[in-house]
Amino acid sequence: MATGITKNEQLSVDALTAVLPGHDPNPLPPETAAVHLEYPGKLPVAEILAPLSVAFQSIGKDGVATPSELKLNSLVLTDNLLALHRMREAGQKVTLFYLDPPYNTGMSFQSRQLEHSYKDSRGAAAYLEFMRRRLYLMRDLMTDDGSIYVHIGHQMLAHLKVVMDEVFGPQNFRNIIARRKCSSKNFTKHQYLNLNDYILFYTKSNNYKWNQPGEAASADWIEREYPKQDARGRYKLVPVHAPGTRMGETGGLWKGMQPPPGKHWQYVPSKLDAMDKAGEIHWSRNGNPRRKVYLTAEKQIPYTDYWADFRDAHHQSIAVTGYPTEKNLAMLRMIVSASSEPGDLVVDPFCGSGTTLQAAEELGRKWIGIDESFTAVKAALTRIRHGVAAMGDFVDRMKEADDEAVVDLFGARAKKPSKEEGQVKRPEVFKSAEASFLVEKQTLKAFGPEIRKLAST
């Protein structure tokens, strides 16, 4: 694995390269030049942030509408551009944005109830400007210690990375996370299997909230990573030096030894002496010192930028709303926990079935969910008020003579559950929340009957 060094740590002259000046007659851009995408219709930032006049109505289960601000713990039926503008005008601040926007796949999507959910088709320039305008509003709404996670497919990943560098600054880019979304059923004969989608993780500044997420260590991992044992417990051996040279105590002698060339001691000699006295230094037969690192009871393995354990629903017993692009609840719990604290505001501007809202509620955060799809809002309202159902409830039972068998989503036959086994209890996941249903005023005027029917869900 290559390990970079700083300019001050370089001990040799620059490598020779087979390049002579003047071969390329056209000079390259300056090293400090920023990268931007250009296309027709790209709005100046000042115009993106210019106020929009918009009003919202709160809709009760009885269909009665009353004027309302965008209250905390609200589900909002509107174009999120309008809601983000209204939040900005109201001075609201958001610690965490998670969004799972359309991927520009060129397809349409429907729910497991066969209700059309949304059309996912825009030209590349139109898609990028659609996202860019909303991202600038989100950046303006974020707290200085805030974060944003944009869940995206391979189709626009590279383009959107350039746009987010423009909006948030490349210095605030943290990760491209690859998430395994499905099993190998998603295949083709003419290219590599498409198993992953991606999450772009950025922050507002370098000072952002971060609670290191991790998972419990397995027995096999512990055996492999902490192979040694003494009276104090299991431990592993790690070097007591690190890359880079230093001019102070950590670059000098310890027990008559210099650190290896190009490296320095990780601790000052007095600290190393204390560790050696406490029995925390292991000396090899040839006199090489290494530090003992003991396994602790609370040891967790930090998550990497590859998430293999947060797949979309893939088994009939998994509870879902039936919305077509519903994401893994455990993944959203992890994101909310990592990048916010209890009481912070979490916003999902493409909230779909409301998975982010449930995660935020469970973890004591405030939340606002926004979507313009009636099918999405119906799914989210159902989740908020009634909970979710096992995915198998959305699969029709076989009507053939073999009444004792059913077919799951992947064609496997299984014993038909008894009446008692087939009953699904919907947990009251939002029981403690004073959740509100809001609609933009002009939308309510245009779709009054449909919205009042939604409100009674």
Q: What is the pLDDT of residues 250-267, one digit of tens each?
A: 999 999 999 999 899 999
Check residue 180 and give its pLDDT: 94
Check residue 120 and give its pLDDT: 54
The pLDDT-based confidence of 399 (bands split at 50, 70, 90) is: very low
Mean pLDDT within 280-301: 91
Q: Which residues, including other chains, have CB under 8 Å from residue 182's CB and lie 6 or more apart?
A: 195, 311, 312, 314
Nearest CA among 143, 136, 139 for reference residue 344: 143
Q: Give the residues across from 150 on adjacent strands.
A: 99, 200
CA distance 92 to 142: 9
Check residue 206 and give its pLDDT: 97
CA distance 4 to 122: 41
Amino acid at 307: W
**Neighbour-count burial of 196, counting CB atoms closer than 10 A to its CB (0-12 exposed, 13-18 middle, 19+ buried):** middle
The better pLDDT of the pair 436, 420 is held by: 436
Give the residue extent of every domain in the chain: 45-213+303-388+426-455, 216-301
Average pLDDT, the chain: 84
Digit-coded pLDDT (tens) for 191-221: 888 889 999 999 999 999 999 999 888 889 8
Kindly report the pTM of this predicted structure: 0.81
The highest-level CATH class for domain 45-213+303-388+426-455 is alpha beta
Mean pLDDT within 240-251: 90
**Neighbour-count burial of 269, counting CB atoms closer than 10 A to its CB (0-12 exposed, 13-18 middle, 19+ buried):** middle
CA distance 450 to 452: 6
Check residue 10 and give its pLDDT: 75
What is the percentage of the chain residues whose pLDDT exceeds 90? 59
The pLDDT-based confidence of 11 (bands split at 50, 70, 90) is: confident
Digit-coded pLDDT (tens) for 150-166: 999 998 999 999 999 99
Mean pLDDT within 174-182: 94
Q: How many angstroms separate the Cα of 32 from the Cα of each of 19, 28, 194, 197, 330?
A: 22, 11, 36, 31, 41
Nearest CA among 353, 377, 394 for reference residue 453: 377
